[in-house]
Amino acid sequence: MIEKLFLYLEYPFVRYALIVGVLIALCSSLLGVTLVLKRFSFIGDGLSHVAFGAIAIASVLNLTNEMLLVLPVTILSAILLLRTGARTQIKGDAAIAMISVASLALGYLLMNLFSTSSNLSGDVCSTLFGSTSILTLSGREVVLCVVLSVVVLAIFILFYNKIFAVTFDEDFSRTTGMRTDSYNLLIAVVIAVIIVLAMNLVGSLLISALVIFPALSSMRLFKSFRMVTVSSAVLSVFCAFFGIVISILAGTPVGSTIVAVDVLAFLLCYSIGRATGGLAA
């Protein structure tokens, strides 16, 4: 088993997949805590369906670089969805459900009507459940992913205290003179970037798992925001790493294997949390 793994690690595409997978898992777990606490667990799902719709449009238009369309559209939807609270006409969860199913349906419809591909259901399935494209990354794509991950990580660390304040109590933060709207906007943009990145790894139906499972697992165990955040990052990286390794060795689909490991980790954390009443802060 181990020998087989080392043999595989000789191949650059396996190393690329591990690097990219781990980085994506790290980034997506960071804002998970904030989204779970703000009751936005499903936003990942909604946004990834929007991204799916955008990909469909891009392929119909024969765009060579899908990202040029997918990223702006997803960011725009994230901004619209995260404009929280009493001012919006349709409340948070309903808005997410609406946008997500609408873009899913429209995306599939467009692909069906205009697609030139010979393997339509294969295309759709891989967009929804994650493709093997994680195993066919080029050096340039890896570099792009590393750069974006570093940027996301840097933003998160620099704005960590502000993200905490906005998550815990938006009204109070506003009274202290914080520009909470700008920070909500920042959170929305970062989420959108992460979603688009993560679609390569687990596909658009499974992204929510990558965002919320590490956060939920960590919340069973730890009692301070800092520890919950650190722990969900570590946990997410760990699960992604093992998920990818298992999928390579056992030949299972990458995305669903990672999510399965995440679910196992959650069950484990849940049991430990119940048994001990939570670890120390």
Partner 1 sequence: MALLTVKDLSLGYDGQAIAEHLNFIVNAGDYLCVVGENGSGKTTLMKTLLHLQEPLHGEILTGEELKEGDIGYLPQQTLVQKDFPASVEEIVLSGFQGRLGLRPFYNRSEKELAKKNIERMGIAHLSRRCYRELSGGQQQRVLLARALCATGKILLLDEPVAGLDPMVTAEMYQLIKDLNKDGITIIMISHDIGAAVTYSSHILHIGNTVFFGTTEEYVESEVGRFFLTQQKGGLQ
Window of 15-23, 51-59, 119-127, 174-182 that interacts with partner 1 by CB under 8 A: 174-182
C-alpha distances (whole Å) from 63 to each of 51, 60, 143, 169 are 15, 8, 22, 43
- Is residue 239 within 8 Å of residue 25, measured between CB atoms? yes
Contact flags string 37-56 toward partner 1, x per CB under 8 A: xxx-----------------
Per-residue DSSP letter, 176: T
**Is position 226 an interface residue for partner 1 (rule: CB under 8 A)?**
yes
**Is position 91 an interface residue for partner 1 (rule: CB under 8 A)?**
no
Figure out which of the listed residues 175, 250, 251, 275 binds partner 1, where binding follows CB under 8 A.
175
**3 Cβ contact partners less than 8 Å away, ≥ 6 residues apart:** none
Helices (DSSP H) in the chain: which residue ranges? 2-9, 12-30, 32-37, 43-60, 67-82, 92-114, 120-129, 139-158, 160-168, 170-175, 180-202, 207-221, 225-250, 254-276
Provide, rounded to whole angstroms, the least separation between the CB of residue 14 and partner 1: 36
Window of 14-22, 223-231, 258-266, 267-275 that interacts with partner 1 by CB under 8 A: 223-231
- Is residue 131 within 8 Å of residue 203, measured between CB atoms? yes
Applying the rule CB under 8 A, the residues between 242 and 281 that interact with partner 1 are 278, 281
If binding means CB under 8 A, how many residues of this protein chain bind partner 1?
32
C-alpha distances (whole Å) from 95 to each of 70, 79, 82, 85, 165 are 20, 12, 10, 12, 25
**Is position 65 an interface residue for partner 1 (rule: CB under 8 A)?**
no
Figure out which of the listed residues 68, 109, 121, 168 binds partner 1, where binding follows CB under 8 A.
168
**Is position 176 an interface residue for partner 1 (rule: CB under 8 A)?**
yes
Figure out which of the listed residues 222, 255, 259, 262 binds partner 1, where binding follows CB under 8 A.
222
Report the amino acid identity of residue 122.
Answer: G
222 vs 266, which CB is nearer to partner 1?
Answer: 222
Name the token pair of 77. 């939807």
**Is position 161 an interface residue for partner 1 (rule: CB under 8 A)?**
yes
Figure out which of the listed residues 4, 15, 91, 223 binds partner 1, where binding follows CB under 8 A.
223
**Is position 225 an interface residue for partner 1 (rule: CB under 8 A)?**
yes
